[in-house]
Amino acid sequence: MALVSVPCVLLLLAGVVINECVALKSTPPAAKTKGQPWPMPSVYTTTGDTMLVTSSAFKFAAGDKTCDILQDAFDRYFGYIFYSGRRHLKSDSLRFVARKAGQPMLTTLRVDVTTECDRLYPSIDMDESYDLKVLGDQSTLTAVSVWGALRGLETFSQLVYEDSDDQEAMAFNKMNVFHWHIVDDQSFPYQSLTYPELSNKGAYDPYTHIYSPGDVREIIEFARKRGIRVVPEFDSPGHTQSWGNGQPNLLTKCYTDQTPNGKFGPIDPTVSTTYSFLKGFIRELTEVFPDKYLHLGGDEVSFSCWKSNPNITTFMELHQFDKNYAKLEEYYMQNLLNIVSSYNNGYVVWQEVVDNGVKVAQDTVVQVWKGHQEAELAKVTQAGFRSILSSCWYLNDISFGADWRKYYTCDPQHFNGSLAQKNLVIGGEFCMWGEFVDGTNVIPRSWPRGSAIAERLWSSADLRDPHIVTPRLEEHRCRMIRRGLNAEPVNGPGVCKYEYHPGL
């Protein structure tokens, strides 16, 4: 029997020295909280009393409306609460204190969802609010949508902790969008049914290093059951070298002194075959990915190859673009956006698209990623566009020490603008690019540094002092380790009993 405790709560969402040995000043271990949620809900109240929760007696109970998402979540969160993701720490090997005389038990959490939830996919407009009351036999979790219920279940799992020192429950970080930058210059791993040669000739290996249709469906379904949107990015017209391997005449031929030099640049925006290909490819993407939005990229387009190509020069003259190659980029992007809109899909673009003056629909979401983010956010929102921020949250860029603090203090709504403008900043995104990251290090490099960003985006702007929240982050890191994730230390010396065991 696994025996754990939960606090009674009411909450609502939402100089360089060479060949020298330097003795470092002794630093005490970082403190940890017990049973405190991350990210912090918008309203959180606790009495300080505790109840016991045992694996043999506790259950989740659905209200009048239930579905596969909710039932799957019940099974998942029961495991998160009572079992460790570490192989050496199953429930029958954990040590717990005996139940105290007269201490109340929590046997049921009733989960009520007020709207139907069968076969839903998360969307940009989903309601993720919830009301969680843990008050003995009257414990309830109420949400308008199943997505709010998922966020509330995550919070509940964080409140439960093992009734002995340094043993915590597991949790997520309530991130709700997976922006999947699925292809780039180096490789085209997405296996298209309409254009199979894209991956056959563009992937590192057409058999082992691809995402098959089945893989994509599995990822989308895995995300759906956790309330996570999957927004794929097919970045163009730059970052497309791998596309040209399987799609002839798509890329621009580069010239040296009026002679092709064997190199290729961005997609050629001057030929009709480009747009015939894009129309068929975008149609497939809208059928495969259920989210309303596609990320179309549009960043870092080099003009040098376009400038070298005499056919491009002639096209520029015919369209009276003079020598303004941003106009050519605008021409391409406008055609691409029109194609996407024809399938009733919305789109996300990198900030260069708007910076270069491309006319985009008013429901376009603009991702701000360069420096001078405050000025850029002010400009984008002044034009009436919704925006997401990633400039200050590039987790693939590592530095020594507790660098999570700088991520925690970056406020996406800190810029000169009206309240209406600030409300157009609908969220943010941490980026983990793959030049020096793969499956061996993506988890420790992402977590719990990414947790700091999750709380900044979910919780009150009044939570600004990293020192105050450090103990809660320590607990949260230990939760993730218990779940089986190799979350790295971020606050200096400390201890989590799940950090290491021979054979892991």
Active site residues: 300
Strands 43-54 and 177-181: unpaired
Cα→Cα distances 379→384, 416, 430, Å:
9, 10, 22
Residue 401 CA, chain-centre distance (Å), reads 23
Closest CA to 450 of 424, 482, 476: 476
Backbone φ, ψ for residue 3 (5° rounding): -120, 120
- d(Cα 278, Cα 269) in Å, to the nearest integer? 11
Burial tier of 336 (Cβ tally within 10 Å: 0-12, 13-18, 19+): buried
Is omega for the bond preceding 489 within 30 degrees of 0, making it cis?
no
User: What are the b/e assignments for 424-442, b being 16+ CB within 10 Å?
Assistant: bbebbbbebeeeeeeeeee
Q: Quick one: DSSP state of residue 15?
A: -
Burial tier of 205 (Cβ tally within 10 Å: 0-12, 13-18, 19+): exposed
241 Rama class: left (phi>0) / alpha (psi -120 to 50) / beta: alpha
Rg of the chain in Å (alpha carbons): 26
**320 C-beta neighbours (distance < 10 Å), count:** 8
User: What are the b/e assignments for 108-138, b being 16+ CB within 10 Å?
Assistant: ebbbbbeeebeebbbebebebbbbbbbeeee
Is omega for the bond preceding 448 within 30 degrees of 0, making it cis?
yes
Asked whether 80 and 481 are in contact (CB, 8 A), the reply is: no
Q: Quick one: DSSP state of residue 309?
A: -
Q: Where are the alpha helices (DSSP H) in 164-212?
A: 197-202
